[in-house]
Structure 1
Amino acid sequence: MLSSRQLLVLQVIIDEFIETAQPIGSRAISKKEHVSFSSATIRNEMADLEELGLIEKTHSSSGRVPSEQGYRFYVDHLLSPFDLSNNELSIIKGTFEKEMVEFERVVQKSAKVLSDLTNYTSIILGPEVFETKLRQIQIINLTDTTAVAILVTNTGHVEHRSFTVPAQINASDLEKVVNILNERLVNVPIVQLHEKLYTEIADLLTTYTEDFDTAYHYLRAALFEEQPVKLYVGGKTNILMQPEFKDIEKVRSLYAMMEHEEEMAHLLRSYKHGIHVSIGQENKLDAMHDCSIITATYSLGTRQMGTIALLGPTRMEYSRVISLLNVISKQLTNTFHSWY
């Protein structure tokens, strides 16, 4: 258990380092308005905090910096609610007041606002298509042999898929198939489409298409398999502005990690409901061992839809970021609730 003096010294060191990225010494701490004890006393407390593994001495300075363990203690025990400015709240509110009827646009705007307000990298995981219901299917011919399939779900998700049209399926059959699908599959959970297609739509396809097997396999491949991950990234280059990431290899590793969308999506899905803070070595991916990631979930009713994350150095503005994520996640949830 830390003493009140040790708690104050630790908080000053972490707050100052978050703001300046510079090690802080006892003399600088003693000059703080709310610190009333001497430099010698502060040095003793710093020695104890270092022994406990909460702060570290750097090679280039006599000052101290927070350790990952220190950040964890800070997040778990020392954070106080952060009051966002009226300007920040106005920017967020203005984003959601604009008329947007597609999920993608709402999330893209949210990712940009988060990255702009924090100078960190924002990553938002979209809803799982298979957890949603089908609203409409469209198939548009591009040429005699190619077409694009468009799936629209009840969450506003729009999926475009280009594919080759089998020679056995003519334009008339294609139009009939689309009409059948829209009549029979609207409001069916996408996870059930494969089953419905084979059990309830098969007889109709047999009646209205010349080659059922070709029509069935083409529909299954074009519409219902290999749904891609939906990741929305804002401010990817913001990481370059952080002094911790002057090492080009660190940056290259982070960029490579963000290119592996399936891996990133798996990571974001692993975080529990609500706010979650993962610091340095706590992160499962090696490229993130010098980073912190703070996540929040957004939902439609009682069903989780996706995850919002901010990625930055371990020297993050934890309290402010948590407040921003809370506001944005609630705005996303309220927006989707008002739609559906």
Structure 2
Amino acid sequence: MNTFNTNKMRRVLNDSELEAQFQKQGYVSVPFISEKEVEELKQLFFDTLPDSGGQITSDDIKNEHFISYDFTFIDKNPAYKRKVYDIITAYFKPHMERLLDNYKPIIANYIRKKPETGEVPLHQNWAFSDEMKCSTVSIWCPLVEATVENGTLQVLPGSHKKFGKNRGPMVPWELEKIKDEIINNHMIPLETKAGDCVILDDSIIHYSAINKTEGLRLVIQLICIPKDMPSLHYHKIPAGNGNIEVLEVDENFYFEFNPWKFPTNVKKIGEEPFTVKYFSVLDFQNVMKAPRFDELKTIEDKRFFSKLFSVFKL
């Protein structure tokens, strides 16, 4: 049962009903942009595509991750990434401000799935600020109708603020070994009309399958954080004690960013201890029943959570 008190936490959405739904489920679905804006943004994707530098691949840096969809965030050309950011934020800003309570954008992406490819693995988005104090969100807006057949977004309702508090590049995920179990038994597909959007808490568990159609599946993602909160980046230290460094960044940081390289010349504001722990299905089920990590503000809550971790060896 979710007993979250929205008065304790910085609000996300201006509308109180949507806010309550968001805090309970971890997402809301709402109308967002016009048909005219959909067509213009679709055309701008193709107009700017010649400026793309291509995606960072294993030829550029050794990594075990293969990405089978086009994703602005990992393009090699910072100027292209900045151009896409400027285009998307110009279109989305008035709609974002109508829905969100004093948020600002930090990352903007076109995401294209070609036919018979484009699976996005089960994951949580990175943490982009202090999630004990706020929620960061992704606005996920398809430019074509998103269906089960073309690989629409799937979410696990109520999984936000439950797992992986300090998420970032190269940080092992505690659910890694049970991803298939979660995909096969717990995910809900969100079929979404072009121009509508899903606003999701970046900590919610989500996934999308391959595009099984012959058509284009093109989506925009805009990641936003509260204006009154610092923009943070969590990155696992590659050597030494294996802890996670907490870096203070801004939107410009991500234009030059390579997720598989440790950032340099960035302001460090802290370090979080980290030990790899992989969950069993039973662990997962019990954490889903437990309080959110941002609810654990009383001694009683902390004792409960410590006992839970002890009993289930989390």
Q: Same fold (TM over 0.5)?
A: no
> Higher helix share goes to which structure?
1
- Normalising by structure 2, we get a TM-score of 0.22
Query: Quick one: higher RCO (CA 8 Å, sep 6+), 1 or 2?
Result: 2
Larger radius of gyration: 1
